[in-house]
Amino acid sequence: MGIPAVGVGTFRLSGQAAYDSVSTALQIGYRAIDTAQIYGNEGDVGRAVEESGVRRDELFLTTKIWTENYAKEKLVPSLRASLDKLRTGYVDLTLIHWPAPGNGVRLPEFMEALLDAKAQGLTRQIGISNFNIELTREAISVVGKGEIATNQIELSPYLQNTRLAGFLQDENIAVTSYMTLAYGKVLQDPVLTRIATRRNATVAQVALAWALQLGYAVIPSSTKRVNLASNLLARELKLDADDMAAITALDRNSREVNPAGLAPQWD
């Protein structure tokens, strides 16, 4: 299965909020859910999935390995612990969360361990997150061409990351856009607002539709049913060439997430 175009993210959600968000998302038609070890909500996500009544084979579950679990002897056991919390025998996609160049575990070690997790049937696909072009090339050289399903990267109308996205698409690696709404900053943008008014859409739908039309997957999160439902409808919004060009002009290389010690040298 390829990467679903629209999923629901769970970043910064925990406890009842995470459970309610995932439960609502599944009720209204989402079938892809994105979580991570560091989010501390895999248990909440797992409970919501189990109690939803949705069949496991209809779902696409993604989690991400945290930096403290990159060592060869830790990665697979940590993923097994994630599976226990998620109440499933496997996830559909497991990502390395950050390259974390200074944490003492070299890239070949954690990429080989991730490939081993796939060989053991713990994850159907493997991928990376927040990798630049150089590190993506290195990861490909370790696991082989065609093994990396996606690179999940911060990407929004204000941070379009065209060089990295173009490289990934040339390599047949799916681009998953997170922070597509730039922590909500794009929701006040006058250009996007004008397009939204003309299209009888929300600004969030316009930003998400822009990413989808470029071939990216998106994983917006919300605790509100109305926003979750609205975001899902972005799949049906079609922007024309003028709309796309106007959004392209908004790029300002404005990055929201850049943690020291975890992030690479960005392209």
32-86 pLDDT, tens digit each: 999 999 999 999 999 999 999 999 999 999 999 999 999 999 999 999 999 999 9
Q: Which residues define the annotated binding site for substrate? A: 97
39 is known as an active-site residue: yes
219 Cβ contact partners less than 8 Å away, ≥ 6 residues apart: 6, 7, 8, 9, 32, 34, 152, 176, 177, 178
Question: Of 17, 66, 68, 77, which Cα lies nearest the Cα of 45?
Answer: 17
User: Per-residue confidence at 29, pLDDT binned at 50, 70, 90?
Assistant: very high
CB-facing half-sphere around the CA of 142: CA atoms within 13 A: 21
Beta bridge partners of 123: 91
The pLDDT, as a whole number, for residue 102 is: 86
**Distinct helix (H) and strand (E) counts, the chain:** 10, 8
The whole-number pLDDT of residue 109 equals 98
Average pLDDT, the chain: 97
> Which CATH number is associated with domain 8-183+216-223?
3.20.20.100
Query: What residue ranges do the domains of the chain occupy?
Result: 8-183+216-223
Q: Could you tell me the two tokens for 192?
A: 């996007």
| Residue tagged active-site, from 19, 39, 178, 216 | 39
**pLDDT digits over 194-241, tens only?**
999 999 999 999 999 999 999 999 999 999 999 999 999 999 999 999
Residue positions forming the annotated binding site: 97
